[in-house]
Amino acid sequence: MNVTQKTTPTIEPITLSELKLHLRLDSGSFSDNVEDDILNALITASRENIEDITCRALLTQTWYYYLDRFPRENFIKIPFGNLQSVTALSYKDTDGDSTSMTVTEDYLVETNGEACGRIVLPYGGVWPTDSLYTSKPITIEFICGWTTAALVPYKIKAACKMICADLYSNRESQLFGNGGGSYIENQTVKNLLASSRLWDEFK
134 and 67, same structural domain? Answer: yes
7 and 47, same structural domain? Answer: yes
Average pLDDT score over the chain: 92
In contact, 25 and 31? CB cutoff 8 Å = yes
What distance in Å separates the CA atoms of residue 19 and residue 179, rounded to the nearest whole number?
A: 31
Residue 185, pLDDT above cutoff 80: no
The pLDDT-based confidence of 171 (bands split at 50, 70, 90) is confident
- Boundaries of domain holding 75: 61-144
- pTM metric for this prediction: 0.90
42 and 85, same structural domain? Answer: no
DSSP class of residue 196 equals T
Sequence-distant (6+) residues with CB within 8 A of 144 are 57, 60, 61, 63, 78, 80, 81, 82, 83, 84, 117
What distance in Å separates the CA atoms of residue 164 and residue 158, rounded to the nearest whole number?
A: 10
Q: Is residue 101 part of a domain?
A: yes
135 and 116, same structural domain? Answer: yes
Lowest mean pLDDT among 17-31, 126-140, 171-185: 171-185
In contact, 62 and 142? CB cutoff 8 Å = yes
What distance in Å separates the CA atoms of residue 144 and residue 6, rounded to the nearest whole number?
A: 12
114 and 53, same structural domain? Answer: no
68 and 21, same structural domain? Answer: no
137 and 65, same structural domain? Answer: yes
Q: Is residue 201 part of a domain?
A: no
104 and 75, same structural domain? Answer: yes
Q: Is residue 54 part of a domain?
A: yes
Q: What is the pLDDT of residue 152?
A: 98
Q: Nearest to residue 13, comparing CAs of 159, 162, 157?
A: 157
Mean pLDDT of 80-87: 98
Sequence-distant (6+) residues with CB within 8 A of 182 are 176
Q: How many domains does the chain have?
A: 2
